[in-house]
Structure 1
Amino acid sequence: MGLKAILSKVFAAWVNRDINQIRKDAVALQQKTFAKLISQAKHTSFGNDHNFGQIKTYEDFKKQVPIRDYEELSPYIKRVTNGEENVLWPGKPTYLTKTSGTTSGVKYIPISKESMPEHIKAARNALLSYIHETGKADFVDGKMIFLQGSPELSEKAGIPTGRLSGIVAHHVPAYLQKNRLPSYKVNCIEDWEEKVDAIVQETAKEDMRLISGIPPWCQMYFDRLSAVSGGKKIKDIFPNFKLFVYGGVNYEPYRSRIQESIGFAIDTIETYPASEGFIAFQDSQKQRGLLLLVNSGIFYEFIPTDEYYNENPPRLSLADIELDKNYALILNTNAGLWGYSIGDTVKFISKNPYKILVTGRIKHYISAFGEHVIGEEVEHALMSVANEEGIDIVEFTVAPQVNPAEGELPYHEWFVEFGAEPKDLKAFALKVDKALQSKNIYYFDLIDGNILQPLIIQSLKKDAFINYMKSQGKLGGQNKVPRLANDRKIADGLSEFIL
């Protein structure tokens, strides 16, 4: 064990004391965060417009600050991106993160001098929690790779602007810089396929011990590594590779294929970073769930998902949440986002400490017939059957078919890329349908009442999703294929790849 690994264990033990405070005092820390945020922002334009000087309690806050998504908050954000100071947060942002929007096109999310360190600290603490719990620290002595966006930044009104992962690349601690790959030059390649090939060439002979990124793009990296090495498993290319860090999507649909590529069941750390803030990370290899970061400059609110679209939905603080219930996540941050609906849904599985699962997107659901099927339900339905039958799932998405052929009932159409297709696709689809019915009573009623016919699976060609994302200009980086949609835009784009 090298000196870095030895020192990291000492550092991990020291940091774990702070993490224990998060575990023990979450509600009190959220109350402290709330008071600090209001105090710091009361003289901003937003604070003046919403009477921050008069806000003493969370109840006061709810009366003054409505829930907004990006489009609704955009008049303030446009003032920020035009260079105005003291709009949402004191001064100007340190950075603007650029991310894909829906109706708004490109979104610009501010990062302040107060919020930037929290992104770095959370990523660091995820690794240190792993070291402290397992005692495994050898990975810090070898090379680490972070598959991410380009670190090249542009400017908007004098504010450095880029993808979150590219911005974070500028803040990797000095003690990790010598271990870190790919090189700056390779990281700046914009074309994703060209970039992956360059990363393969640069890393194939290195002592890679930690690999991090969004699972489907890491899988693409593994596939190309294997191809250039004559079909070797990743464990044979990188014999000291011991830790896989991921975020951005649910890992379960990718787990079996990634483990097959690597050659063993590698240790993993799940993280929940977003442009709006670093929200949670997996702090244990023994327990499920992600530890909610309650002392990182974010005050959280939660709206029950089944009431989200009501005129006046209930808004709950951490103290009032219930276990095993889906909530839309609302953020108030030290970068100036207020009552901000990030679009994600979460479910608490523990209050001691407060741990969550990310269950989907509030806008990514199917309710074309009143079923309100969410991402967690379709992923469970497909993966439970696939795991039972030993079927490898590469990627999938689901859309409603409201205009079936004459004489047929409407249905949910699933587009699935298999590693190897089931021998009886129709029987497989019926099992998945039964599994979905067991998770969603509304869907069960629609099938049972002959309003819908059982779901239909379209098996797709190899690399269908990669080629589809390439056709949309969204290959690689932080881009992800939505699991669910109420329209047929993605479904129609994938139709040319049906086997």
Structure 2
Amino acid sequence: MSIKSFAAKIFANHIRKKIDKWASNPMETQEKVFNELLQKGKETAFGKDHGFETITSYSQFQEKVPIRDYEELKPYVDRMVAGEPDVLWPGRPLYYAKTSGTTSGAKYIPLTKDSMPTHIKAARNAILCYIAETGKASFVDGKMIFLQGSPEMDEKNGVKLGRLSGIVAHYVPAYLQKNRMPTWETNCIDDWETKVDAIVEETRKENMTVISGIPSWVQMYFERLQEKTGQKVGDLFRNFNLFIYGGVNYEPYRAKFENLIGRKVDSIELYPASEGFFAFQDRQEDKGMLLQLDSGMFYEFVKADEFFDEVPKRLTLGEVEMNVNYVMIISTTAGLWGYNIGDTVMFTSLKPFKLVVSGRIKHFISAFGEHVIAKEVEEAMQTATEKTGARISEFTVAPQITPQGEELPYHEWFIEFEQEPSDLKEFSAILDEALQQQNSYYLDLISGKILQQLVITKVPRDGFQQYMKSIGKLGGQNKLPRLSNDRKIADALEKIIKTEK
């Protein structure tokens, strides 16, 4: 055992105890965060506009601070970007995490001197919790790769801006710098396909022990490695035993990953976003992620099926229930107040508070009143692949409201298979049955002959990559929506399918 791995074990056990302390006192922890946020927010333009000076309770906060998304908070953000200090948080931000918006164009999410350290600490603690639980620490002596966006940044009125993953790259601790891959120069390559090829060349002969990134893009890296070397990833990297991921559910990819690697490896799920690092998986056998309660974020929750009501009820952590779909609302040390990040979550544990990401409040199918969410289609896909031995590269789902002839409407599943099932009809039936079991509205629509069983449309190899490239979102931190309530993605995929025939 090296000195570094021995020290990592001692430090991991120390951090685990600190985490257990705040996790076992959730209400006190959140109350402290809430009060500290209000205290610092009093002197900001937002705080003055919303009467923070007079707020003495959570109920008053609810009355004075409405739920907002980015578009509604944008007037304040625009003032910050223009150079005005003390707008949403004291002083000026350290960075802006630039993301692509839907209706507002580019989004500039502030990262402050108070919020930035919480991103780094949570990522570190996820790995330390793994070490504390498993006792495995030898990976700290090997090479680690983090597939991420370019660390190069622009500047806006004296504040640097870039992708969150690129900003975080500047905070890799000194003791990991020698282990980190790829090189800085390779990480700065903008074109994703060129970048992956360069990473393959840099890493193929290294002792890779940890690999991290969004599953769909790590999959591309693994495939290129296999094409280049003719070897399974696990044979090429014999000491690779830890995969760290976030952004999308890993389960639909797991079978293909294990085939590419040639064996099973441990994994840690993270829940990072530009707005905050919200949760991470702290136990290997527990798929729920531990909600970060002491990281300068105060959480509120609204039931997803009530979110679009005129006055939706906002709940504190002490009022949530397990297995209910909630929209998560945050107030943070980055100056985001009553902010709707757009994600929906479900709690898997209340002691301590653990959750899974169930989807996006804007990404669902309810063309017929079924309100199918991402978690349901992902779990249905997992059931179908496990029962048939099929492996998938990627998939998305869209409604078909106006089918040809006398057909009933249906959900169309666009699937890129890495290994097709021996019987596609059986696979389709299992998939549909699994979705019916999870969603009673969908079951009723099938039973009532309003909808027919789902239809599978096969997407050719690399078809989804072609689609992402066509919209300028190939690689990095970009994610394909798991489902849509319209045919925009479906129509684009149909064009790719026709071109390939």
Q: TM-score, normalised by structure 2?
A: 0.98
Q: Per-residue deviation at 1:494? A: 0.5
For 2:269, the equivalent position in structure 1 comes to 270
For 1:116, the equivalent position in structure 2 comes to 116
For 2:91, the equivalent position in structure 1 comes to 91
For 2:424, the equivalent position in structure 1 comes to 425
Equivalent pair of 2:256/2:393 in contact (CA under 8 Å)? yes
Secondary structure of residue in 1 paired with 2:481: coil
Q: Per-residue deviation at 1:475? A: 0.4
- State the Cα deviation string for residues 390-409 of structure 1 (Å, max 9, x = none): 11111100111111113221
Q: Per-residue deviation at 1:288? A: 2.6
1:474-485 superposed matches below 5 A: 474-485=473-484
2:62 corresponds to 1:62: yes
Equivalent pair of 1:273/1:279 in contact (CA under 8 Å)? yes
Q: Per-residue deviation at 1:83? A: 1.0
CA distance in 1, matches of 2:404, 2:425: 18
Equivalent pair of 1:22/1:293 in contact (CA under 8 Å)? no
Secondary structure of residue in 1 paired with 2:329: strand
Secondary structure of residue in 2 paired with 1:264: coil
Q: Per-residue deviation at 1:468? A: 1.0
List gaps (5 residues or longer) in structure 1: none
For 1:361, the equivalent position in structure 2 comes to 360
Q: Per-residue deviation at 1:421? A: 2.0
1:98-497 superposed matches below 5 A: 98-229=98-229, 231-497=230-496
**Root-mean-square deviation over aligned CA pairs:** 1.0
CA distance in 1, matches of 2:22, 2:492: 45
Q: Per-residue deviation at 1:446? A: 1.2
CA distance in 1, matches of 2:421, 2:290: 37
CA distance in 1, matches of 2:401, 2:182: 46
Secondary structure of residue in 1 paired with 2:420: coil
Q: After alignment, is 189-198 or 286-295 more displaced?
A: 286-295
CA distance in 2, matches of 1:488, 1:34: 42
Q: Per-residue deviation at 1:471? A: 1.2
Secondary structure of residue in 2 paired with 1:4: helix
Secondary structure of residue in 1 paired with 2:421: coil
Equivalent pair of 2:383/2:430 in contact (CA under 8 Å)? no
Q: Which amino acid aligns with 2:172?
A: V
Q: Per-residue deviation at 1:16? A: 1.2
CA distance in 2, matches of 1:392, 1:203: 26
Q: Which amino acid aligns with 1:219?
A: Q
CA distance in 2, matches of 1:36, 1:438: 45
Equivalent pair of 2:389/2:421 in contact (CA under 8 Å)? no
CA distance in 1, matches of 2:463, 2:112: 39
CA distance in 2, matches of 1:87, 1:141: 44
Equivalent pair of 1:322/1:348 in contact (CA under 8 Å)? yes
CA distance in 2, matches of 1:93, 1:409: 53
Equivalent pair of 1:303/1:327 in contact (CA under 8 Å)? yes
CA distance in 1, matches of 2:193, 2:61: 47
- State the Cα deviation string for residues 184-242 of structure 1 (Å, max 9, x = none): 1000000000000001111111111111000010011111111111x211111111111
Q: Per-residue deviation at 1:428? A: 2.0
- State the Cα deviation string for residues 164-185 of structure 1 (Å, max 9, x = none): 0000000111111111111110
For 1:20, the equivalent position in structure 2 comes to 20
Identical pairs, percent: 59
Q: Per-residue deviation at 1:422? A: 2.4
The count of aligned residue pairs is 498
Secondary structure of residue in 1 paired with 2:451: coil
- State the Cα deviation string for residues 30-73 of structure 1 (Å, max 9, x = none): 01000000000111010001111111111110000000111111
Secondary structure of residue in 1 paired with 2:419: coil
CA distance in 2, matches of 1:330, 1:64: 15
Q: Per-residue deviation at 1:27? A: 1.4
Q: TM-score, normalised by structure 1?
A: 0.98
Equivalent pair of 1:421/1:459 in contact (CA under 8 Å)? no
CA distance in 2, matches of 1:80, 1:329: 25
List gaps (5 residues or longer) in structure 2: none
Secondary structure of residue in 2 paired with 1:419: strand
CA distance in 1, matches of 2:108, 2:166: 14
Q: Which amino acid aligns with 2:470?
A: S
Q: Per-residue deviation at 1:154? A: 0.2
CA distance in 2, matches of 1:164, 1:483: 22
CA distance in 2, matches of 1:254, 1:432: 16
